[in-house]
Amino acid sequence: MSDVLLRLERLEVVYHRVITAVQGVSLEVPRSGIVALLGTNGAGKTTTLRAISGFIGLDDARVTEGAIVYGGSRIENRAPHRITAHGIALVPERSKVFENLSVAENLEAVVPRPGADRRRLAESIYELFPALARLRAREAGYLSGGERQMLAIGSALACAPDLLLVDELSQGLAPVIVEELVGRLRRVRAELGTTILLVEQNAHVALDVADYGYVMENGRVVLDGTPERLRAHADIQEFYLGAGGGERRRSYREVKQYRRSRRWYG
């Protein structure tokens, strides 16, 4: 990969000084690329994103080993608002909008990167998500799931980021809405040139939009490759794309996990 915007080098994250949630994760996100991070619940995907976007005191988590290199400088353990000022914006998994503020206020509250043109940004966000322009005065707590996700992406874009981190784009949303949102993300990359790191449980969605994918299990990256390669992989087919198995797959899950671990870790 030629121009790497973000690189994680053997990243390790520890919660409450004892619980290791991410162990030795390395990955690269090329400039203007869309990279997917796949994995089941508790695999450490969200923690990885939070480590990149910065923890606050309330989290009681720290990057203890390794490095997060963004645009040539190391950013691990910086305060989130400084990381945002650096050009990284996160669309979080839960509580992603300020519910008691209106849509317009949600966008207004954002502190964009120094030098960003606020008005042009707002225009391009409303152009990208016409629904938000229509709902400008609506309190964000009354938005539907899809509208809320649009507002979350919109207000992250209002930070004028070079790198957009998206945590669980598809969670809890109808497939048709997910498809629409994926289309918007493609436009974000095409029109604004924004690089995107997408965390997903839904492999269909992730492999559909990404140029490259990483698979995480138990806090480690166990597999990576192009969408074609990942789609062709037997375990991805079985565990993430739901091919074959059906009900039986669930009951044999433990056994499979063991077999898979043996294969991957050698």
**Of 54, 213, 219, 227, which lies in the binding site for another protein, with binding defined by CB under 8 A?**
54
**Using CB under 8 A, which residues numbered 76 to 105 contact another protein?**
79-81, 84-85, 89-90, 92, 95-101, 105
Q: Based on the shown chain and the rule CB under 8 A, indicate whether residue 57 belongs to the binding site for another protein.
A: yes
Q: Based on the shown chain and the rule CB under 8 A, indicate whether residue 145 belongs to the binding site for another protein.
A: no
Minimum CB–partner distance for residue 144 and another protein (Å)? 19
Nearer to another protein, 85 or 241 (CB): 85
Q: Based on the shown chain and the rule CB under 8 A, indicate whether residue 117 belongs to the binding site for another protein.
A: no
Per the structure block, which two tokens stand in for 234? Answer: 């037997």
**Of 25, 43, 159, 222, which lies in the binding site for another protein, with binding defined by CB under 8 A?**
159
* Stretch of 26-34, 54-62, 212-220, 222-230 lying at the interface with another protein (CB under 8 A): 54-62
**Of 10, 19, 42, 56, which lies in the binding site for another protein, with binding defined by CB under 8 A?**
56
**Letter for the amino acid at 126?**
Y
C-beta separation of 231 from 241 below 8 A: yes
Q: Based on the shown chain and the rule CB under 8 A, indicate whether residue 251 belongs to the binding site for another protein.
A: no
**Of 10, 42, 60, 259, which lies in the binding site for another protein, with binding defined by CB under 8 A?**
60
Q: Based on the shown chain and the rule CB under 8 A, indicate whether residue 155 belongs to the binding site for another protein.
A: yes
Q: Based on the shown chain and the rule CB under 8 A, indicate whether residue 121 belongs to the binding site for another protein.
A: no
Nearer to another protein, 143 or 230 (CB): 143
**Residues contacting residue 250 through CB under 8 Å, at least 6 positions apart:** none
166 burial (CB, 10 Å; 0-12 / 13-18 / 19+) is: buried
**Letter for the amino acid at 53?**
S
Q: Based on the shown chain and the rule CB under 8 A, indicate whether residue 75 belongs to the binding site for another protein.
A: no
Q: Name the E strands within the chain.
A: 4-15, 19-30, 34-39, 61-70, 73-74, 88-91, 163-167, 195-200, 212-217, 220-225
C-beta separation of 166 from 194 below 8 A: no
Q: Per this entry, what is the length of the chain?
A: 266
Report long-range pairs for 173-181 (Cβ below 8 Å, ≥24 apart): 173/145, 173/146, 173/149, 174/146, 177/145, 177/146, 177/149, 178/202, 178/205, 180/146, 181/146, 181/149, 181/150, 181/153
Where along the sequence are the contacts to another protein (CB under 8 A)? 53-54, 56-60, 79-81, 84-85, 89-90, 92, 95-101, 105-106, 108-113, 155-156, 158-159
